[in-house]
Amino acid sequence: MSRHLRLAVLATALLTGCTSAPKAEPPAGPTVAPAPTEASPTEVVQAALQRLTTTPYSFAISGEGQGLKYVASGAHDPKARKHRWKFTVSRKQRSTSHQVIVIGGIGYLNRGGSGRWARTDLTRLEPTSLSRYADPADPSGLIRFARAVQSVRRLGPATYEGDARLEAAPEVISYVPPGAPLVRFPQGAPWVAFTLTTDAKGNPATLKTVFEFGASEVVTNRTTFRELGRPVRISKP
């Protein structure tokens, strides 16, 4: 907490048997400026994540785990409630690519780059439905991720690491990877370790998440945020 120090000096001359003007007051001491309060690591991380829920941005993701590789890119406009991303999942020599657009509660899915889009009212599906490929209230997963953050440690001037709790229901799509969630966790420890880096303005630059299955299985994803604040174009297909 900052403290204010107020120095008040009162000088009065009372001379017995005579009348005299009071002595001059000594000059006031220097004013002590309030000490700046440094935000805690948790406050810095939450402030950075909050910007992603109020400002448009673009992103790119790369990840791997359980023999799969995941690459995605897209854009988000929180005020317009629009989110789009394209992703490719690869295993050895096989890969599949899909595109997703979410506008309000309506989702549009293009499987395999066929050019045909399937429209779905995501608000009418149960959270456990396999057809519910996005959370209409939080398609980027970053709102849920911010709420799940439990502990944060500062590693450097612009680097923070911590832990976030996973949803209890394994059938529900998680917030992993942040930006374009895809993973459902049927088992494993209910924690995701993360590392967040920020730019000179305190905006999120990268967000790495790591989830461990036992002693050998690890799912790692890295989300890079770009062009924060620049308008994005997301339209119905």
Range of the domain at 158: 56-226
Q: Report the CATH number that the domain containing residue 78 is assigned in CATH.
A: 2.50.20
Q: What tokens were used for 199?
A: 């730019």
Specify if 160 maps to a domain: yes
Residue in 83, 76, 121, 133 with CA at minimum distance from that of residue 103: 83
Residue 229 phi, psi (nearest 5):
95, -15
Rounded Cα distance, 215 and 7, in Å: 62
CB atoms within 10 A of CB 188: 15
Specify if 38 maps to a domain: no
Q: Match 């023999």 to its residue by tokens.
A: 67
Specify if 212 maps to a domain: yes
Specify if 203 maps to a domain: yes
DSSP-assigned states of every residue in 51-81: HTTTS-EEEEEEEEETTEEEEEEEEEETTTT
As a whole number of angstroms, the longest Cα–Cα distance in the chain is: 108
pLDDT tens column, 8-54:
332 333 223 333 444 444 455 555 444 467 889 999 999 999 999 99
pLDDT recorded at residue 16: 32
3-state secondary structure at position 142? helix
pLDDT recorded at residue 189: 61
Specify if 141 maps to a domain: yes
Please say whether the beta carbons of 145 and 136 come within 8 A. Answer: no
Specify if 2 maps to a domain: no
**Alpha-carbon distance values, 26 to 9, 10, 74 (Å):** 8, 9, 67
Tens place of pLDDT for every residue, the chain, 237 residues? 433 333 333 233 322 333 344 444 445 555 544 446 788 999 999 999 999 999 999 999 999 988 889 999 999 999 999 999 999 999 988 999 999 999 999 999 999 877 899 999 999 999 889 899 999 999 999 999 999 999 999 999 999 999 999 876 777 888 999 999 988 877 666 889 999 999 999 999 999 999 887 667 888 999 999 999 999 999 999
Specify if 128 maps to a domain: yes
Type of residue numbered 223: T
Please say whether the beta carbons of 185 and 173 come within 8 A. Answer: no
Number of domains present in the structure of the chain: 1
Specify if 179 maps to a domain: yes
Q: Match 């009162």 to its residue by tokens.
A: 10
